[in-house]
Structures are given as C-alpha cells and as structure tokens.
Structure 1
Amino acid sequence: MPPFVPLAERIVDALLATDPALASSVGEHGSDDQLPDWSADAVTGRVTMLRDAAHALSEVEAEELPTAERVDHAVLSALVDRGLFELTEVRSHEWNPIAHNPAHLLNELLTRPFAPADVRLTSLAGRLAAVPDALATARALLRDMPRIHAETAAGQYDGAAALLRDQLPALLDREPGLRGTVQPAAEVAARELAGFADWLRAGLHDDAGPGRDPRLGRRLWEARLWHTLDTELSAREVLERAWANLERVTGEIRAAAVELVGGPASDDAVRQALRLLADEHPDDASIVPLAKVTLDEATDFVADAELVSLVDDPCVIKEMPEHDRGVAVAYCDAPGPLETADVPTFYCIAPTPADWPADRIRSFYREYNNHMVRNLTVHEAMPGHFLQLAHARRYRGSSRVRALGHSGPFVEGWAVYAEQVMAERGFGGLAVRLQQLKMQLRMTINAILDQLVHCEGMTEADGLELMIGRGFQEEGEATGKWRRALLTSTQLSTYFVGYTQVAEVAARRPSGVPLREWHDAMLAHGSPPPRHLPALLGLDGADLDAW
C-alpha cells in the first residue's frame, strides 16, 4: 500500500503545476506569471496526469487511515475524478468563452497586495505576454457557443480591458522602472481582450444560428451534480426535498408577514409585507456604504450573541469589477488557504449596469433593499463566507489536500445556515427575518430551477412564474437568476443541499456544548464536503447521505 501523505503531496504538486488558476485561487504563487493552457496537448497532458493520480489513489487502503487522512483521501479522489469529468465530458473550454477570460488572474496581481509591487508587476508582465496566445487558442477551440455565454463573455472581456486601463497605472507609478516592460505588454493585451469581445459580438450576428443549447441535458447534468455535491443523493431526491422545503418555508413566511401587516396568513400578506420593506432601499451611490455599516452591525451581533469566534482578518467591501459582472449580484473573494501574506478578503457588490432603464434599476433596489442588504452581508461576510473561509485558512492537516478540496455545498451551506441563525436570534428584527425567509425560498427554488432548466426544458415564462409567484422575487431579480441558471449548472443546487446538511450537523450539537464552541468545531476542518463533518466531529452515525 503506498503511503498516503507523500502520494497526496505529489498529486497536489501536479495539480498546482498544471493549473495556474487553481494555484492562484488557493494562494500558491509559483505560477503567477502564467495563464492556463487550453491547447490540445496541454489538456491531454492534464488528463493523463489525473488518470495516473486516480489509479494511484485507488491503490490506497483508505479504511486503514486515520479519520482526517481518510477524509483527505476521499476529498482528493473526488477532486481528481471531477477534474477528469470536466475535461473529458463537459469540455466547457470548447464552448464557453467565459472559461478563457484571464481577467480574474490579472486582477489578483493588481489588487491583492500579497507581495511587493515589483514582484507582482513582474509576474503580471508574464501573464500579459501570454494573453495573445491564450486568446488565439480560445478562438481555435471555441465552437457552437451558447448565445447567452457569448453575450455575457463579451461584456466581461471589455471589463478585462478596462481593468488594465484603470488599475494598472497606479501600480506602475509605484515601480516606474518596470513601466518599459509592463506597459507595452499591457497595451497589447488590452487590444487583444477588446478584440476578442468584438469577435464574440460578431459571431452573434453571423449566419451560424443561435449556437448550442446552454442546457446540459439530464445525463450530463446529473453526472455533474454528483461531482458538485459529493453526495449519494440522487437528483430526484434533491428535487423532491426541495419542493417539500418550498412548502414548509412558504408557511413560515406567511406567518411572519402577518406579524408585520396583520390579516390572514396568505401570499397577499407576504407581498404586502415585502412591498412595505422594499420601500426602504439604497441606490448605486449608497449600496456599498450601506454594506459597510451592516458588516459592523453583524460583527457586533455575532460577538454579543457568542455565535462563533471572530477573527482579526480584514474584510474590504467594494464595487464588483466589471469583468465579473453578469452572473451574480455579490461575491466573497477571500485569500486562498495556502496564502501566507496578510491580505484582505474582498466582499464585492455589483451596482446596476449603466445601460439599465430606470424601471429595472428601481426593481433591483426594491429586491436588494436595506433589510435584504443586511441579510446579504450575513451570507457573504459575517458570519457567512468571510468568517467561515477565515477559519478554514487556519486549518493545517498532514497534507495540503483540504486546501484544494474546497466544497461548494459546505461553503454555501454554512452561509445559508448563518442567515438562519442570525435571523432567528433577532438580527435586524422582523424585517431581516422576512428577507431571510425570502432567501430560503430563493435558495430552494434555485435547486428546482437548476434541475428543471437543464433536464426538463423549463421555459423562461415558467421559470419567471416560479420565482416571482412562489418566491416573491422582483422581476429584475428573477430575470437575472434565469440568466444565471443558463450560464451555470449544478452550482445553484449547492445552497439547498449544503444548507440542509450543515444544519443537520449543527442540530446534532452534544448536550452541554456551547453554541459558539460547536460552530467553531464545525469550521475547524477547512471546507470539506458536508458528508464528512460528522466523522471529523466524532459523531455517531457519521454519514449524512441518509438525510
């Protein structure tokens, strides 16, 4: 039997060496001067490496390992298998232009001060020099692109070019000696990025038709769901439980609405209550300042209620960069678990696009009203993603596996659970409680929408009716979520499944253990798939797949 830890470290090294985007995301800077190589030879090499890794891991007697290493073996095996599946089955690099956008890798070097300016600029010069070849590879590979992906990508590539124009000068002013090296490469890269956006737009107007259907279809979607969730739950079980949860939460939000507006517990009462709360809302100028205030409020509340231990890591709230807009309204961009520098987490919020009409802007901010922003800040920052990921970075195992094995269901599940904990304990009063229940409806509908769109051919009209009617969403929010359901697949299911599994573990808190201590224990193991938490916490009946 091969020793697991040395094998795991070799596989981690191989994964990082062949994937600069993965390396950057976890805070490993050895390939900061490189972009991902999607050429046929490079992809073939990665597939071979992953198959070799899968074979080596299959020879390990995992049941004989200590608990933490047994979990690491499962996490690493799942990571390798998912990589193989994505490269050989989904093959999104051949049809999704968003996958080739280098903007995030450039932005990391420009905005996150993990190293002195001269070091980051030197790495940036390497990445900028690689942009023309990377985009040439993308042009050669991309065929039959879904229209919605090409439209979204065109705007994001324009944002990438703008990033270089807007962010690079300030960094070069700090190291003028590198201007002669970096500036010419940046000018070429910016032209190439803008040209690629134009190429995508031109393709939207040629005679090639609407492109491939963005829906994966049941076979591919169910396989991807299995890899995404890392659970034995079937797609049918997820859907059945989501419909049941939708009924349960509908009853709760009706009852909460009556507390605010009176009358019978009905959908009309919910709409009346939500309309009342939506009247108190920010605008493009005030949404970021509001989020900053709510972060302070949430931090004080977590401390006073002794919900989970705080950290002294910085969290910076800012507008979402243009190159990331078009998919989600907000995100948390945390340092990777292997990052050694003292750098901040970014909590980014997207203001409304400049070309939106007034009525759509009004709809957006009625959805993201003052009380919803409080709940959103709980999810993205405190005690949601920012705090959870800060705890995760403090985990140290016998190998680096857990640093790479980032589970979307755990991360999103904890954040949704955090919303519930805060609201139930009174954060923001009844107004936030109503928004939190509305978000419970939203995350449940996310899972339903995800499956029905990709597997059952759900129409846009039916999707909007579900979100607006059953989810009480503003039309602008529902329209944006419809686009997200087409642009992504299986990620929208992580909220519901992850929340349910995380909440079950939380409910198994042993008698006499304080809540903060239990939450700290739940966050002390990195971000593993939720099904492994019971074993890591020493609970009886460890597997959650029977949930």
Structure 2
Amino acid sequence: MTSADDPFGRHPVRVGDMFVERAERIIDALLESRPGLAAAAGDHRYDDRLPDWSTDHVAADREMLREAGDALAEVDPESLPVAESVDHALLSALVDRELFESTEIRAHEWDPLCHNPGMLLHALLARPYAPAEVRLTHLAGRLAAVPDALATARRTLSDIPRIHAETAVGQFLGTAALIRDQVPVLLAEAPTLRGRVEPTARAAATACAQFADWLRAGPAATAEPGRDPRLGRRRWEARLWHTLDTELTAAEVQRRAWANLERVTEEIRAAAAELVGGPTDDETVRRALDLLAAEHPDDHTIVELASVTLDEATDFVRAHDLVTLVDDPCVIQEMPEFARGVAVAYCDSPGALETANVPTFYCIAPTPSEWPAHRVESFYREYNDHMIRNLTVHEAMPGHFLQLAHARRYAGGSPVRAVARSGPFVEGWAVYAEEVMVRAGFGGLPVRLQQLKMQLRMTLNALLDQLTHCEELAEAEAMALLTGRGFQEEGEAAGKWRRALLTSTQLSTYFVGYSEVAEIAAARPVGVSVRRWHDGMLAHDCPPPRHLRTLLGI
C-alpha cells in the first residue's frame, strides 16, 4: 500500500521490483487522468469519463507528473535488465512529454479540437468490447459529462487560431450527428436503458451543436486571424525532441530531408520514363501520374476498392513470406464526420490492454458534400486506384493494422509499452512497408510510382512541418513546394498546408521514423530470413527506433 504522501510506492525494495511497482502506479495515474489514453490502450476502467480540463484538475495533474518524474529518477536504469531499462526510458520520456505539453504547449487553452468528445464516444458505440448494456452504461456517463466539459472549454479557450476554429466547427457538428444517429442504433440492442441514455444524448448533442455555433459566431467568424498556429522555433524544436525521441537535431532532420528529396526525385523520374517513355524529367513524371490518375474511385466505390486492395495485399504478403500474418479482424469504413478535416485516412486499432476480440477500423474520408465537382475530381486523381493500393499497404497490410496486431501480442514485465508507443516507429514501419511491397513487385510499376510519390510526400511533410513553424513559410510557397517538388494535386497540397497549421511535429514522424526503421531493416543478420527479421522488429511493441536497436542487439 502507498500513502497520499507517497503515491508511487517510493519505499525500499529490490531495484527491479521497485521499477515495475512504480511503473504500474504511474501508468494507473496517467490512465485515470487521461481517459483518451486509457481508451487508446484498451483499458476500460474510465470509459464513463471525459478529460477534465478544469484549472484545478490541470494543476493537480501537473503535480502528479512531477512526482512521477521524481520517482522514476530514483531508479538507476543501468541496474535493470535490458527490457526493463528500455521501459524505464519510455515511461520517463512519456511523463516528461506530458509535463511539457501541459506547461509549455497548453493546447487545451487555445485549440478547441482538444475538447471534442467524438472519438471517445465513437469508441463505445463502434467497438463491441462488451455487451451493449455495459457500453451504454459507460456511454451515459460520458454523454452526461459533455455539457459541463464544453462549458469548461468555453471558459478555458482564448485567442483561438481561426483555422482551428473552422475545423472544430465541422468536427463538433459531426459529433452531434454521431450522437443523434448512432446512439439509437446501440439502444436498439438494450432498450431497457432508453430512459437513462436518451435524455443525456439529447443534451450532449445540443451542447456540441451549440459549441459549434459559439465557435462559428466568434473565433471562426471574426476578421481577426486569432492566435498564430505556428509554434515558433524554440517551442517547435522542443516539441520535436519529445515527439521523435531521437538523437537527430532539427537541423539534421532538415538536411537529410532535402537530400532524400533529391534522391527520390531521380528515382521517380526514372520510373516515369519506364512507364510512358521520354526523358527522365519532371514533365515525364507528370505525364505518367496523369495517366494513372485517370483510373480512380469515387465517393460510392472508395471503401469497396480499399477492401479489395486489402485482400490483394494480404495475399501478396503471404505469397512472398514478408512477415507473419494474423487472423485479427479489420473493418474498412467511411471516416466518421467528427474525425474529418485533418487526415484522409487512419487506422484505429484496439489497444494493447484490450482483452476482447474486437476489430481494427481502417477509415477513409470521402469528399465533403459541399465540395464542387472540380475539387472532388482533384481529390480522386490524387487518391486513384493505384494510390489506394499503396495507402492500404500503409494503413493496413503490412502497415499499421498488421504492425499493431503484432504489438498487442507483446507481453512485458510491466504495461509501459502499452501506453508509451512511439509515433516515429509506428509511422516509420508503415512507410517502410510501402517500400518493401513495391520492391517485391506489388502492384507493378503503377504502384511503384505512387509509392515514390508518397516518399516525396513524407519527405516534404518533414520540411513543411519545420519550415511552417520555424521559418514563417508562406502558404503560396508551401503550395508551390508541394505541387512542384511533390507533384501533388492542388487539393492534396491545400489539405496538407492546413494539416501543417493544425498540427506540429507529427508530420516529421514519417520521414524520421522511416529513415530509422529502414536502417534497422538493413541490419538484418546474415542467414536470417526477411520474415523472421520483420517479425523480430515487430515483437517488442512500438518503442522508439533507437531503443529497438538495443532490444534487437544491433
């Protein structure tokens, strides 16, 4: 037992036991104060809660993080076995990152997207981890908390960047629609709870719609641009350090990105000339991409196409013995409205602590209904049949879906890796998986061209991220860079510019993660098969690549 003065068990015990005990208590405290982290990890103890951004709770949370950091600092990692030493580093980095976010970035004070309950509500509605009665009981708690949570958001938010306000309007209206449309569907499975759930659902949907109206009438409508969404070099570089957990500096990341852009440009020119003939120049690349762009899905067929390509990719991985497959379910569906406006697709996988047999969701966003025909056409020229094949490799097979299915099978001495997953490793593996598949012949030259275009995209992501937040890159310059050097359709480039302003440092995880994961893959020992090495890379959950090198003995 621990006392209120000693929340993380700081009493004399054997060093290894001390770390595991403290790690478990720290993780419990993190999950209790962060229902979103708990939900992502698959821990359902806090499924009736929403994040608490009140002043008192934020202050108490910061004190908890400081105490957790002090407790971890008392453990000598060099006295621990390798796996636990890595876990110590991961948990220490997570605690430091959360404290940095709370004290330096303070996004809950200016970013309304932080206050959107949509994903936490969707998790209860969409994933059948428990009977409908259990999920509805939890859902009632979350729904009941929505009005007060959004009242806190109104008191807390100030100086909101206009682009964040505009995006949040659509997302909150999407959350209101989710409540109105999907809660009755789940209630049909447990009608005895209708009297308890329906009133809270109506109040929550109304609160979300009113919050969208508040944003629309204020931050999204004002002539003033609001807070600059750019972090500036000092805060961006500090956040990058926490995000990447790498030894690379921001300057080195940018240097490597420019060099990689040159390398991949030469490769895509050569591949384009092979497809359509002509000189190895940018004009030939555009002719080749135009040819492939003509073969594309639409809003009615994109989900079906993704399903077909998932089957194709799975058969290909099996036939070429690239990595061990799993029998976990993967459901492809339209991206819920509350989640749209940032990325075109995402993989929503069960957490590592999830014990129920529940599916992974591979979500794709169709075009918004208000888009004009030319913008829809531009979107599907970018996400043509061949690009969807490459996208499915990234998001599903053998990318995120397979990667995270392997991660859930990791069983360590503590739950650290279930909550401290590395974004650079996750994204790096998915980008590396694209390369593995095309080199083995998946999709032939058309998919190879799309994969090289994606290599350009992920490289430009890192440049756009840094140039936008640190060097005042203008929108016109960004669009010229993305459409010129990246051969992107105008709609894709415009969406990426928005994403760079809406997020910071996440766009750098693709390039840095890919670079480090590819280096580890290239270190495959002589006599070890590709499948065995890939399985080994995925056998340790999702640690930062520098720690994966240690775990693999590189």
- The answer, yes or no, to whether TM exceeds 0.5 is yes
Alignment counterpart, residue 36 of structure 2, candidates 3, 10, 21: 21
Q: What amino acid is the match of 1:411?
A: V
Residue 61 of structure 1 is matched in structure 2 by 76
Work out whether 1:217 is the aligned partner of 2:232. Answer: yes
Residue of 140, 151, 154 corresponding to 1:125: 140
Q: How does 1:101-500 map to 2 (within 5 A)?
A: 101-204=116-219, 209-500=224-515
- The one-letter amino acid paired with 1:245 is N
Instruction: Give matches, 1:22-61, under 5 Å.
Output: 22-61=37-76
Distance 2:340 2:121 in 1: 16
Q: Deviations over 1:411-432 (max 9, x none)?
A: 0000000000001110000000
Residue of structure 1 equivalent to 2:5: none
Alignment-derived partner of residue 3 in structure 2? none
CA distance in 1 between counterparts of 2:222 and 2:31 reads 41
Change (3 A) 1:472 1:205: closer
Measured after TM superposition, the shift of residue 59 of structure 1 is 1.2
d(CA) in 1 for partners of 2:222 and 2:341?
26
Contact 2:524 2:533 in 1 (8 A): yes
Aligned equivalents of 1:328, 1:440: Cα separation in 2 = 17
Matched letter for residue 417 of structure 2: R
Unpaired segments ≥5 residues, structure 2: 1-11
Distance 1:367 1:235, change over 3 A: same
Structure 2 CA distance for partners of 1:176 and 1:60, relative to 1, 3 Å: same
The alpha-carbon deviation at position 205 of structure 1 amounts to 6.1
Secondary structure in 1 aligned to 2:218?
A: helix
Tell me the TM-score normalized by structure 1.
Answer: 0.98
Distance 1:301 1:136, change over 3 A: same
Query: C-alpha displacement at 1:320, in angstroms?
Result: 0.2
CA displacement, residues 391-448 of structure 1 (integer Å, 9 cap, x when unaligned)? 0000010000000111100000000000000011100000000000000000000000
SS of residue matched to 1:373:
helix
Q: The residue matched to 1:174 in structure 2 has which SS?
A: coil
Shift, 1:64, TM fit: 1.5
Distance change >3 Å, CA 508–CA 12, structure 1 → 2: same
CA distance in 2, matches of 1:205, 1:396: 47
Normalization by structure 2: what TM-score? Answer: 0.97
CA distance in 1, matches of 2:31, 2:272: 50
Change (3 A) 1:207 1:393: closer
Residue number in structure 2 paired with 1:542:
none
Quote the offset at 1:204 in angstroms: 3.4
The alpha carbon displacement at 1:264 in A equals 1.1
Q: Distance in 2 between matches of 1:226 and 1:195?
A: 38
C-alpha deviations, 1:156-192, integer Å up to 9, x for none?
A: 0000000011111111011110000000000000000
Q: Deviations over 1:490-535 (max 9, x none)?
A: 0000000000000000000000000000000000000101111111
- Distance across 1 between alignment mates of 2:147 and 2:185: 24
**Cα distance in 1 between the residues matched to 2:112 and 2:89:** 32
1:82 match? 97
Q: For 1:8, give the aligned amino acid.
A: A
- Cα distance in 2, alignment partners of residues 208 and 379 from structure 1: 40
CA–CA separation in structure 2 for the residues paired with 1:62 and 1:442? 39
Maintained 8 Å contact 2:160/2:219:
no
- CA 1:207 to 1:502, structure 2 compared with 1: closer, same or farther past 3 Å? closer
After superposition, the Cα gap between the structure-2 partners of 1:206 and 1:425, relative to the gap in structure 1 and judged at 3 Å, is closer
Distance 1:171 1:62 in 2: 47
Q: String of CA shifts for 1:2-34, please: whole Å, max 9, x gaps.
A: 521111111111111111111111000001001
**SS in structure 2 at match of 1:31:** coil
Secondary structure of the structure 2 residue equivalent to 1:213: coil
Shift of 1:232: 2.0
Cα offset, 1:206, TM superposition: 6.0
**2:422 maps to amino acid:** S
Between 209-218 and 345-354, the greater mean CA deviation after superposition: 209-218
Question: Once superposed, what is the RMSD of the aligned Cα atoms?
Answer: 0.8
Please list the CA deviations of residues 78-114 of structure 1 after superposition, one character each: whole Å capped at 9, or x if unmatched: 0000000000000000000000000100000111000
* d(CA) in 1 for partners of 2:220, 2:165: 11
In the TM superposition, 1:512-531 aligns within 5 A as 512-531=527-546
Identity of aligned residues (%): 72
Give the letter aligned to residue 388 of structure 2.
Answer: V
